Structure 1
Amino acid sequence: MSSKAFTSLMGSVNSAVVVVTTVADDVRAGCLVGYHSQSSISPQQYCFWLSKANHTYRAGLLATHFAVHFLTADHLTLAKHFATRSGDDIDKFADLNIELHEHGVPLLSDCLHRMVLERLAIVDDGGDHVCVTAQVVDSESAGKFTPLRIADLGKVAPAHGSDERAVHP
């Protein structure tokens, strides 16, 4: 399969985007994530992939819990906030309304569709992202919604370029 065909396939899928947040050693982290999926019905499990160039990846290596915030069309500004800024440089949560889950994970108050996960494993298959597999420990939703999708973001310059996502041994 050609790279062009793969890009076309992935562009056609137009996945929903989520914001993943976590905390480790009192360091809060969060990023926009396009790779994520339910991975088990019973028990309820979810997976998401973090870029190795990302501050959230480094915090996530030490974290036990994460929150996945499902974004709606009304969350475009929030999505860009988490996509275009690096936790290496700023506190992404400084100007946001948050509450802390009992496990210390920052929850975005403006996101009514979210779940808290307990990490089961981190899988590094040598690519530029790692897969975090996790068990659902808490979830809440305000009902059905239309998710914000990758195509809705337009041209967004990520906080870390693709050259920073080099494959690590």
Structure 2
Amino acid sequence: MEYNYRFLWVGETVGHYLERAVWCITTGVYVITTKDKKGRMNGMGAAWVNRVSEEPPMVVITVWENNYTYELIQDADYFVVNILMEGQQDIARHFGRQSGRDVDKFKDIDYKVTEHGIPYLPQALAFIECEIIFRKKFGDHMMLVGKVIREEVLHEGIPLVYKHEDYFNEERV
């Protein structure tokens, strides 16, 4: 059987191999930030972000039920999608590989806050601030739809791309 990439055998289609096909999906790399009504802030690394509507502009995110952000975003009205760019893998790891329950992720990182008090990363390629208009739990994730209330491109650059535990720049995609 022919081996494709480092984890997928060509022709595997059923059983636990289904997950391997899902690993082939590429996504952007994002940091979702929020603040609950008690003032607790957190950010998490995310790959599951997408547009839902162009008019009015809306995006959808999903948050894993074991994330600290999941706890906070249930009592939040807004979130921000920070879009990372090439060379910002360290930021993705900072927000994605440690829990906000254990460490203040904003302690040693440059951030600003929106008019609604939601932190955003000025070093990111862009950010999108959303008002939460819909929440629903699917399996082990909460899906949230946010109506875009502010968006800003902060820098020129190329968005960072992710595929199952690996980051890619434009030349590798």
TM over 0.5: yes
Q: Distance in 2 between matches of 1:143 and 1:29?
A: 23
Deviation digits for residues 84-110 of structure 1 (CA, Å, limit 9, x no counterpart): 110001110000111110100001121
* 2:45 corresponds to 1:26: no
The equivalent position to 1:61 in structure 2, one of 60, 65, 74, is 74
SS of the residue 1:43 aligns to: coil
Bigger fraction of residues in helix = 1
Letter in 2 for 1:47: V
Q: Which residue of 2 aligns with 1:8?
A: 20
Q: Distance in 2 between matches of 1:7 and 1:60?
A: 27
SS of the residue 1:12 aligns to: coil
SS of the residue 2:105 aligns to: coil
Q: Distance in 1 between matches of 2:129 and 2:60?
A: 12
> Where has structure 1 moved over 6 Å in runs of 4 or more?
none
Contact residue 19 and residue 31 of structure 1 kept, 8 A: yes
Bigger fraction of residues in strand = 2
Contact residue 38 and residue 45 of structure 1 kept, 8 A: yes
The equivalent position to 1:135 in structure 2, one of 120, 138, 147, is 147
Give the unaligned 5+ runs of structure 2: 1-12, 168-173
Identity %: 25
The equivalent position to 1:35 in structure 2, one of 48, 57, 60, is 48
Q: Distance in 2 between matches of 1:98 and 1:142?
A: 13
TM-score normalised according to structure 2 size: 0.82
Measured after TM superposition, the shift of residue 73 of structure 1 is 1.5
- Bigger drift between 22-31 and 9-18 goes to 9-18
Aligned CA-pair RMSD: 1.9
Measured after TM superposition, the shift of residue 3 of structure 1 is 4.4
Give the unaligned 5+ runs of structure 1: 156-169
Q: Distance in 1 between matches of 2:16 and 2:158?
A: 29
Deviation digits for residues 58-90 of structure 1 (CA, Å, limit 9, x no counterpart): 000001010001111221000000111100011
Q: Distance in 2 between matches of 1:96 and 1:142?
A: 17
Q: Which residue of 2 aligns with 1:123?
A: 136
